[in-house]
């Protein structure tokens, strides 16, 4: 194992410079989603749309080193993966599943029924989509937590058919913990597919993979670009970029906790961003030593070093209000408040995917089993969107039931508005009913 870098995080004290740095971090996704990657994705999508299973198998063989025949994992393998898990891991997954299910069951939206002033009936009705496709990444790590965080809200929503695509290793085997989590969540169909070809298969359908209505789940740049391209053919949850954490800390924060939390984000991916904004100059000066100590013999040291070198940052502010303003401008995916009074500061924050309150709420509990969903907006998208939820897998329909009295009371206004837009038959459709 190589020696860790001595000072992996840059320290900034000028707020204008900090703002510039945070903007650079927010744009790290667009810096990777250019040119060749987009062209390759478009080629893959077109081939899968035209040639179905053959193209899917060809791309899987080319990129992942095996030919997926058959494409689906057998139901027996799913059950075997679950029963073969060590007891401690099975218990941990079961606890996570129960907590995530309990929280998401409370999210189910209620139908709305309203009686208008003239007796007209108005409403909104929620129904699940028929089929959902979940993408579960492979590559640098296995993510059974992603299975639960996507499958649970889909099942709670009432989706009848949930399928998973997850890349296999060169031996053609999907990580057994991912398969076990799928079994626990009640998913019966898992395909040994990854990358843009998996997204194309779920969006367009093929001989083996059914066309879905919604695709959810994170992935690499090719997966993200593929989801962006098929949106409109299917719904998607979001365009997830690389993960990020922003920690706001004051003098009460434990430097070792802060360092561990920054590294917990950095170990995801070389593009992960880890930011500390603090009112304590001593913490800013000491954080590099704490990080370096924890990097020694870290099993994902090279990934952490790359992320911290390129996308790590420490900002020193005079007060928590300045910290909050910078945080809101960045709109972090994960925001930790390691301060003496986290609740008032949380009330001040407007833009964040998830807020972790106080020293006993490390982001890791949210990643795995706290209950709220860990699929969150990244790269500034928390300004206008939120976590994946039960509603991601549902659609709502408006209900409008006017009676004659209601139409008589409002019909002249409808005609005036239709006429103002030059839509003659709109006005006539009302006038002819009232004459």
Q: In the listed set 236, 255, 271, which residue is the last one of a domain according to the structure?
A: 236
Query: Does any domain span residue 104?
Result: yes
Kindly list the catalytic residues. Answer: 333-334
pLDDT in tens, 39-82: 999 999 999 999 999 999 999 999 999 999 999 999 999 999 99
3-state percent helix, strand, coil for the chain, nearest multiple of 5: 50, 15, 35
Could you write out the DSSP letters of every residue in 246-282?
Answer: EEEE-TTS-HHHHHHHHHHHHTT-TT-EEEEEES-HH
pLDDT in tens, 266-298: 999 899 999 999 999 999 999 999 999 999 999
Q: Which of 25-39, 244-258, 350-364 has the lowest mean pLDDT?
A: 25-39
Query: Rounded to whole angstroms, how far apart are CA atoms 381 and 201?
Result: 27
Q: What is the model's pLDDT at position 7? A: 54
Share of the chain above pLDDT 70, in %: 96
Share of the chain above pLDDT 90, in %: 92
Q: What is the model's pLDDT at position 187? A: 98
Query: Does any domain span residue 390?
Result: no
Residue 285 domain boundaries: 10-32+241-383
Residues 155 and 284 in one domain: no
Query: Does any domain span residue 127?
Result: yes
pLDDT in tens, 155-172: 999 999 999 999 999 999
Residues 119 and 245 in one domain: no
Kindly report the pTM of this predicted structure.
Answer: 0.93
Task: Say if residue 1's pLDDT is above 50.
Answer: no
CB atoms near residue 307 (< 10 Å): 27
CB atoms near residue 90 (< 10 Å): 16
pLDDT in tens, 188-230: 999 999 999 999 999 999 999 999 999 999 998 899 999 999 9
| pLDDT tier, 4 (very low <50, low <70, confident <90, very high otherwise) | very low
Q: What is the mean pLDDT of the chain?
A: 95
Domain total in the chain:
3
Q: What is the model's pLDDT at position 30? A: 62
Q: What is the model's pLDDT at position 36? A: 80
């Amino acid at each position: 194992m190589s020696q860790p870098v001595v000072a992996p995080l840059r320290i900034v004290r000028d707020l204008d410079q900090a703002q510039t740095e945070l903007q650079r971090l927010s744009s790290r996704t667009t810096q990777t989603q250019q040119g060749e990657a987009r062209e390759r994705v478009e080629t893959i999508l077109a081939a899968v749309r035209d040639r179905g299973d053959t193209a899917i198998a060809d791309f899987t063989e080319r990129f992942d080193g095996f030919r997926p025949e058959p494409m689906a994992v057998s139901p027996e393998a799913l059950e075997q993966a679950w029963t073969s898990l060590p007891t401690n891991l099975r218990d941990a997954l079961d606890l996570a599943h129960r907590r995530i299910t309990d929280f998401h069951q409370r999210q189910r939206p209620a139908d709305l029924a309203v009686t208008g002033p003239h007796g007209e009936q108005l409403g909104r009705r929620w129904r699940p989509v028929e089929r959902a496709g979940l993408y579960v990444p492979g590559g640098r790590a296995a993510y059974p937590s992603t299975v639960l965080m996507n499958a649970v809200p889909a099942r709670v929503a009432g989706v009848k058919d949930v399928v998973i695509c997850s890349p296999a290793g060169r031996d053609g085997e999907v990580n057994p913990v991912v398969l076990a989590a799928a079994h626990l969540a009640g998913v019966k169909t898992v395909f040994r597919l990854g990358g843009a070809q998996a997204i194309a298969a779920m969006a367009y359908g093929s001989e083996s993979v059914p066309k879905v209505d919604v695709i959810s789940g994170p992935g690499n740049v090719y997966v993200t670009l593929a989801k962006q391209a098929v949106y409109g053919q299917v719904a998607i949850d979001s365009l997830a970029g690389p993960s990020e954490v922003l920690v706001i800390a004051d003098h009460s924060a434990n430097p070792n906790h802060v360092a561990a939390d920054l590294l917990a984000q950095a170990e995801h991916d070389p593009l992960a961003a880890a930011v500390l904004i603090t009112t304590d100059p001593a913490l800013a000066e000491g954080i590099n030593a704490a990080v370096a100590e924890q990097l020694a013999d870290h099993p994902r040291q090279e990934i952490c070093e790359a992320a911290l070198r390129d996308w790590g940052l420490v900002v020193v502010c005079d007060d928590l209000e300045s910290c909050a303003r910078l945080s809101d401008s960045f709109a972090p995916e994960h925001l930790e408040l390691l301060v003496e009074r986290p609740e008032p500061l949380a009330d001040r924050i407007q833009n964040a995917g998830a807020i972790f309150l106080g020293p006993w709420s490390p982001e890791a509990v949210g990643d795995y089993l706290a209950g709220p969903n860990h699929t969150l907006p990244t790269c500034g998208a928390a300004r206008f969107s939120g976590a994946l939820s039960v509603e991601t897998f549902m659609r709502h329909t408006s209900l409008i039931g006017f009676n004659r009295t209601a139409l008589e009371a409002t019909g002249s206004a409808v005609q005036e508005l239709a006429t103002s837009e030059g839509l003659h038959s709109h006005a006539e459709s009302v006038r002819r009913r009232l004459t």
